[in-house]
Amino acid sequence: MTVKREIPLDTVFSALADPTRRQILKMLLEDDMAVTDVAEPFDVSLAAISKHLGVLSRAGLISQERRGRVIWCKLEPGAMKNASIWMQGFGQFEPVDLDAFENFLETELSDEPPSD
């Protein structure tokens, strides 16, 4: 039995504070990606992207898996649950429906116009 450790909120919010890391999370929302594919659209070194991925991984927002010689990254949306619960405590935020949020982002990131 695997016991998941509780990620401190500071770690999650710190990981989300960087725009490059937020963009990486958006990219991973569409599908798992190899590290080299994650790095492609950014004008920084592969080493810099690897550091960003390390931050996201330590925050529990992504997982990484070696498949052969390639390291794949996968979004772990459940990791934002505690942050969402914390924000709801202020009463200004509605509960986050992660499925609806994912559908919204898929629509926003889609190249095709929405069908009515």
What share of the chain in percent tops pLDDT 70?
84
Buried residues in 61-77 as b, exposed as e (16+ CB within 10 A)? bbeeeeeeeebbbebbb
Q: Which fold has domain 9-105?
A: Arc Repressor Mutant, subunit A (1.10.10)
Mean pLDDT across the stretch 75-103?
Answer: 76
Q: Which residue has the higher pLDDT, 21 or 114?
A: 21
Domains of the chain, residue spans = 9-105
Instruction: Give the pLDDT confidence score for residue 93 in this predicted structure.
Output: 56
Instruction: Give the pLDDT confidence score for residue 14 in this predicted structure.
Output: 92
Binning pLDDT at 50, 70 and 90, where does residue 83 land?
A: confident
CB contact at 8 A, 21 and 15: yes
Q: Poorest-confidence range of 17-21, 52-56, 74-78?
A: 74-78
